[in-house]
Structure formats: structure tokens, C-alpha cells
Amino acid sequence: MTDDRPERRRDAEATRRALIDAATALFTERGYERTTVRDIAARAGFNQALLFRYFGSKKALFSEVVARQGWQQVRDTPPERLLEVALRGLLDPGDGHRDRTLEVYLRSTGTGEARSETRRLLGREYTSVLATLTDADDAELRSDLILAWLLGIGLTRTVIGKDPIASADPDDICRLMLHASRTLLEKLPDDRSE
């Protein structure tokens, strides 16, 4: 006797989301190179073939992770708050709900395969928004300097764990960085963290 019930269709969007969520967690914990496709698929509860079907490669999945979170943060955050929101995402203790885009970026920037794609997808988005916070002719340079400083703070605190930055109160770091950043981005509001 044959079963005439229609084959249950996989929820493609839910599967993609589960794979992206698993990849985000693993890239954050281990970085790009030390995360395997097998580990991502296992954490999401699927096999590797499904990951390749939806994304084609680990590199493409990594790009999706960085792009999705970065674009969402840039899109959902007013330009004058983007620096503080991104900085707090790096500084606040992990509770599972914070944005981990820059942390994934930091743990993976040294890898050759992921480096150029990450820089293109994430750096350009953040710097273009930050550049709107100054009327200076060198707005792009100023915003790149701020992003480099932000990433340096994240690297020192999150990846290296060097004190006093690693143990400093996030509010203190935000207050000092935002105050100093106003010399380059004069449109940053001065009433946020001070």
C-alpha cells in the first residue's frame, strides 16, 4: 500500500535561519578557520549537504552571517547612534541576544579567505553611515579611523583580553570613546553616555 500523503516540505527560510544562527555562534566562538561545515550543520541539526545546498560554501555562509547582521544593525540604527550601538555590542557581556557581527569579524579578520569579503561587506556599510556624521572633506577617512578604533577596542577586549580594557566598565569605555570621537565626527550627539 502506498502513502498518498504529500511529502512534508522543508521550511526553507527556517532552515536557512537555523544554519545562519549556528554558524554565527561557531564563528564567534572559534573564528572562521577553526569552524567546520560539519560542526555548523551538526549544531543546526542538519547534514552538510543541506548547508551546501542553501549556501554553496562555508565562505558564502560566512558572508551571509556578516552581511545579515551588519546590514540589519546599519539599517535599524539611527546614524548618530550607530557607533555607540556597535561599541556596546562588543563590550556588553554575552547574553545570547546582543549583536555579534563585529565579534565574528574580529575573530575572523586574519584569515585570507574571509578577510576581503568581510572587509567589503561590513566595513563599507559602517563607514558610509559614520561618514554622514561630519561635514569635513575627509569624511570617509574620519569614519574609517573611528571604525579602526572600534575594532581595536573590540580586539583588545574580546579576543586578546588585555586589561585594563578587558575589565573596564562598558559605560566608561563608551563615554570616553564617544567623547573623543566627536573630534572627528562632530555630529555625534553629546548627551548619550556623558
- 41-59 confidence digits (pLDDT tens): 999 999 999 999 998 989 8
Q: Is the pLDDT of residue 4 over 80?
A: no
pTM of the model: 0.65
Contact residues for 118 (Cβ-Cβ < 8 A; gap 6+): 62, 63, 66, 105, 108, 109
- 94-139 confidence digits (pLDDT tens): 544 455 566 666 655 555 555 555 556 667 888 899 999 999 999 9
Q: 13-27, 73-87, 90-104, 156-170: lowest mean pLDDT where?
A: 90-104
Return left, alpha or beta for 8; rule: phi > 0 is left, psi -120 to 50 is alpha, else beta: beta
The confidence score (pLDDT) of residue 96 equals 44
The rounded percent of the chain whose pLDDT value lies above 70 is 77
Q: Is the pLDDT of residue 7 over 90?
A: no
Return left, alpha or beta for 3; rule: phi > 0 is left, psi -120 to 50 is alpha, else beta: beta
Quick count: other Cβ atoms within 10 Å of Cβ 37?
Answer: 16
The confidence score (pLDDT) of residue 101 equals 61
Q: Is the preceding peptide bond at 93 cis, omega within 30 degrees of 0?
A: no
Q: Is the pLDDT of residue 6 over 50?
A: no
- 70-98 confidence digits (pLDDT tens): 777 888 899 999 999 888 887 875 544 45
